[in-house]
Amino acid sequence: MSVRVLRPGLLSTLQDLGRYGYQQLGIVPCGAMDPVAHCMANALVGNDDACATLECTIVGPELLFEEDALVAYYGAAFEHKGEPFPANRAVLVKGGTTVALGSAVRGSRAYLAIAGGFAVEEVLGSRSTYLPAQFGGLHGRALAAGDVLETIEGMSELSRARFSAIHGTTRSRTVRWSAPELTLPGPGPLAVRAMAGRHHAQFDAASRKAFFTHAWRVSSNSNRMGYRLEGPRLKRENPVEVLSEPTCLGTVQVPNDGVPIVLMADHQTTGGYPKLAEVAGADMPGLAQLAPGSLVRFVECSLEEAQAAADEKLERLRAVKDSIRSRFSP
Angle at 306 between CA 300 and CA 310, to 5 degrees: 145
Question: Are residues 42 and 328 in contact, defined by beta-carbon separation less than 8 angstroms?
Answer: no
Per-residue pLDDT of the chain in tens (330 residues, 90 and over written 9): 789 999 999 999 999 999 999 998 999 999 999 999 999 999 999 999 999 999 999 999 999 999 999 999 999 999 877 677 889 999 999 999 999 999 999 999 999 999 999 999 999 999 999 999 999 999 999 999 999 999 999 999 999 999 988 876 555 588 888 899 999 998 889 999 999 999 999 999 999 999 999 999 999 999 999 999 999 999 998 888 888 999 999 999 999 999 999 999 999 999 999 999 999 999 999 999 999 999 999 999 999 999 999 999 999 999 999 999 888 875
Question: Are residues 90 and 154 in contact, defined by beta-carbon separation less than 8 angstroms?
Answer: no
What is the CA 26 to chain-centroid distance, rounded? 21
Grouping H, G, I as helix, E, B as strand and the rest as coil, residue 224 is coil
Question: Are residues 185 and 293 in contact, defined by beta-carbon separation less than 8 angstroms?
Answer: no
Q: Indicate the Cα dihedral angle 316, 321, 324, 326, nearest 10°.
A: -110
Q: How much is the pLDDT for 330?
A: 59
Rounded CA separation 39/280 (Å): 19
Question: Are residues 112 and 72 in contact, defined by beta-carbon separation less than 8 angstroms?
Answer: yes
Rounded CA separation 49/40 (Å): 8
Question: Are residues 69 and 155 in contact, defined by beta-carbon separation less than 8 angstroms?
Answer: yes
Using the 8-state DSSP alphabet, how is residue 123 labeled? B
Q: Map out the domains of the chain with their CATH numbers.
A: 2-182 (no CATH), 190-316 (2.40.100.10)
